[in-house]
Chain A
Amino acid sequence: MATKKKIMIVNRKAPHGTIYAFESLEMALITAAFDQDVTLAFLDDGVYQLVKNQDTRPIETKNFTRAYRALPDYEIEKIYVERESLNARGLTPADLAVAVEVLDADTLAQRIMQQDVVFSA
Chain B
Amino acid sequence: MKFTVLVNEGPYTHQASDTAFHFTKAALEKGHHVLRVFFYHDGVLNATALSVPPRDDRDVVKRWSTLAQQYQLDLVACIAAAERRGILDSEDAKRHGLEMDNLAPRFRISGLGQLVEAAIQADRVVVFGD
Contacts and interface: CB of A to CB of B under 8 A. Distances in A.
Interface of A: 1, 3, 5, 7, 12, 19-20, 23, 26-27, 30-31, 33-34, 36, 117-121
B94 to A, nearest CB: 24
3 A-B pairs with least C-beta separation: A30-B112, A34-B116, A117-B125
Contacts of B112: 26-27, 30
Contact of B8 (A5, A7, A36, A121): A121
B4 to A, nearest CB: 9
Interface centre among A7, A33, A34, A36 (most CB of B within 10 A): A34
B84 to A, nearest CB: 8
Given A3-B120, A27-B112, A30-B116, 5 more contacts: A20-B41, A34-B120, A36-B116, A119-B127, A120-B129
Interface string B93-130: 00000000000000000011101110111000101011
A31 B80 CA distance: 15
- Size range of the chain B interface in the assembly: 10 to 19
6 contacts: A3-B121, A20-B41, A23-B81, A31-B116, A34-B116, A119-B6
A106 B8 CA distance: 26
A19 B113 contact: no
Nearest to A38: B116
Nearest to B42: A19
B41 A19 contact: yes
A121 B130 contact: yes
Contacts of A34: 113, 116-117, 120
Interface in B1-58: 6, 8, 40-41
Contacts of A3: 120-121
B113 A30 contact: yes
